[in-house]
A and B are shown apart, each in its own frame.
Chain A
Amino acid sequence: MRRSRYTGSAHTGTMEWLIQRVSALYLSGFVIYLIVSFSYAPLGEFAAWKAWFSLGGVRLAWALFFLSLLLHAWIGLRSIYMDYLQPLWLRFSFTLLTGVGLLTLALWAAQILLQAGP
């Protein structure tokens, strides 16, 4: 039988909880904005997309979108691993792989956003 652990507190729970909710709000708000705005004023051709994407505000909004997405995924997946992956080595491996994967995606997103600049 596993004994209860009196390990003190990690002091990270509330911030994780808050980031998860704030990022969810931004993600859903941004996606809804994109759907509505593109259905009213669709961007037709490559040049229009390129011009739109070279705007500083647009790239900042996308940067926030990717940041929210990656943070949301990181906290959510880690939460699932905490619940269901009980052997420490398994949880550590999955957390490590997820961290590396998400970091790679973050670098890729950063590269796309920087290259799209004017």
Chain B
Amino acid sequence: MKFSIYRFNPEDGTKPRMQDYELPDDCGAVMLLDALLLLKERDDSLAFRRSCREGICGSDAMNINGRNGLACITPLKDLSWPVEIRPLPGLPVIRDLVVDLSPFYNQYRAVKPWLINHDPEPEIERLQTPEERERLDGLYECILCACCTTACPSFWWNSDRFLGPAALLQSWRFLADSRDQAVGERLDDLEDPYKLFRCRSIMNCTDVCPKGLNPTRAIGRIKQMLIKRIL
């Protein structure tokens, strides 16, 4: 099994390069993350993030053969060889496959991803009907791996102003929540040529989402809400 992996260490002053690695076919690795861990045993200078190894934490998002995905849930048998692994595109590289996710988190923070409700806190919980709760399906499951946002050209061009698909999915998650009381303020904040409307609905985000979510549809719903408000 042959791998070509992006290497960059800002401390040694050299330019980024692609380094070839090889593992025997019978090494026992099933998922790409297994192979990366075996490679790290052989070359401990190779840096990448990983944690839960089952597609829940979103730490090991990377660009695998030109497509963003989670290494831990990418079966080796589905890949074409040699496998080319690069860091997530559009973000500053800290080292090898580790990127600085600050621009991504800053945009996530900007949509106020928490419930805004000014009523006194109830004794047990804020109730929803089963239908109201159902509206949050396909929204709350996001693990913030950044696969979608870093696959979006609009985010590459305007990462400081365009919120990106992950943040917009979360924005819709709270707009759609029956318990949230800040719909007007949230929409006011989105009504801007950059924050939301840089989205061209090319659906790269939906295509790569490892959890099968659909940020493009969420963005469409936000647009519908804004249009309804004007008309």
Contact = CB atoms under 8 A, between A and B. Distances in A.
Given A6-B110, A9-B188, A84 B157 contact: yes
B124 interface: no
Interface string A7-36: 111111111111000000000000000000
A82 B107 contact: no
B148 interface: no
Contact of B193 (A4, A6, A18, A82): A82
Contacts, number: 74
A18 B196 contact: no
Contact of B103 (A2, A11, A17, A83): A2
Main secondary structure of the interface of A (DSSP, over half): loop
Contacts of B223: 14, 17
A8 B194 CA distance: 11
Interface residues of B, number: 30
A16 B103 CA distance: 26
Nearest to A2: B160
Given A1-B92, A83-B158, A9 B197 contact: no
A5 B163 CA distance: 10
B22 interface: no
Interface in A47-99: 79, 82-84, 86
A41 to B, nearest CB: 37
A16 B226 CA distance: 12
Nearest to B230: A14
Contacts of B191: 9-14
B189 interface: yes
B157 A86 contact: yes
B192 A4 contact: no
Interface of B: 92, 100, 102-103, 106-107, 110, 153-154, 157-161, 188-198, 223, 226-227, 229-230
Given A9-B189, A9-B191, A10-B192, 10 more contacts: A1-B103, A3-B160, A4-B103, A4-B161, A9-B195, A13-B197, A15-B230, A79-B193, A82-B193, A82-B198
